[in-house]
Amino acid sequence: MTTHLRVLRPAPKVFAFYDGRVDGYRFAEGENWVDDGALSLGIASYAIVDGADALVYDTHVTVQHAAFIRKTLADAGVKNFTVVLSHWHLDHVAGSEAFDDCRIISNKRTLDHLSRRKAAIESGEYSGPPVINPLVLPTQTFEGRMQLQVGKLRVELLEANIHSDDATVLWLAPERLLLAGDTLEDTVTYVGEPENFDIHLAELDRLWALRPERILPNHGDPEIIALGGYEKTFIRANQQYIRMLKRCVSEPELRTKPLRDIISAPLEAGWVNLFAPYEAIHRQNIEVVLAAKLS
């Protein structure tokens, strides 16, 4: 199950655990959320490590993935694990059982989302197979912001409303490093809450104001992640795409254009890169935006 899971080192104290974007490989036959929302696009979770301490940022798509992460870190000398969840979506929380003896932190909204759907996620009624059973819930919550010490590293947890209304991003101020969860995505963001687009745009300005030097998203290009991550213009690319989706409401001729035309400027600038499966995500995003009847 973890055959294609690879360990990248984007920064000296950072591990990325990347799976997916593997030609011809599927996790399972038929529609399922692991392939369709995660592995087909590529998904990373991260760990920030200093000495015997690790902050594990998301628990990946299966308990086996999470166990692999835990073993890799233990082999590197980690003894104390703290998990932080980026948001409640299944591809980010599925492996939490492998850390059920550890502190698991999320913002309050993430806990609310997961608690409300716990029974349906565990039975498969919520999004079909594979079920996550048991769904291990966060053991500690925060609102707004929280500071964590990982060895000698100071990590800030910042709550945001981007992509989902319960995002938690990690900010390492001295290193100017932002771990963005799903608030930023290469090639384009996966839209679930278009009614909050204006909030997303304003919140992305907040991330821009941090002046990150490097950004690590959970869905992005493994080569760029391996080389240290994205520049802050990645934020502008995501904002421009959201503005284009908003324009698709009033300008029907934009709706049929291929993704490469919709984001041509950010692509030419190298802020993001075209990965073919995102064409289908873009089609789906347009449907979601039109169905939301934004004014």
Residues that bind Zn ion in the complex, under the rule CB under 5 A: 91, 182
Q: Which is nearer to Zn ion, 45 or 82 (CB)?
A: 45
Q: Which is nearer to Zn ion, 89 or 214 (CB)?
A: 89
CB of 63 vs Zn ion, minimal distance in Å: 17
Q: Which is nearer to Zn ion, 37 or 266 (CB)?
A: 37
Q: Say if strands 103-107 and 80-84 run parallel, antiparallel, or are unpaired.
A: parallel
- Whole-number Å distance between alpha carbons of 293 and 248: 11
Three-state DSSP at 279 gives helix
Three-state DSSP at 54 gives strand
CB of 295 vs Zn ion, minimal distance in Å: 28
Q: Which is nearer to Zn ion, 35 or 91 (CB)?
A: 91
> Minimal CA–CA distance to 65: which of 26, 20, 30?
20
Neighbour tally for 293: CB within 10 Å = 9
Q: Which is nearer to Zn ion, 182 or 186 (CB)?
A: 182
Written as six digits, the tokens of 23 are: 């030609």
DSSP 211-245: --SEEEESSS-HHHHHTT-B-THHHHHHHHHHHHH
CB of 190 vs Zn ion, minimal distance in Å: 7
CB of 19 vs Zn ion, minimal distance in Å: 12
CB of 91 vs Zn ion, minimal distance in Å: 5
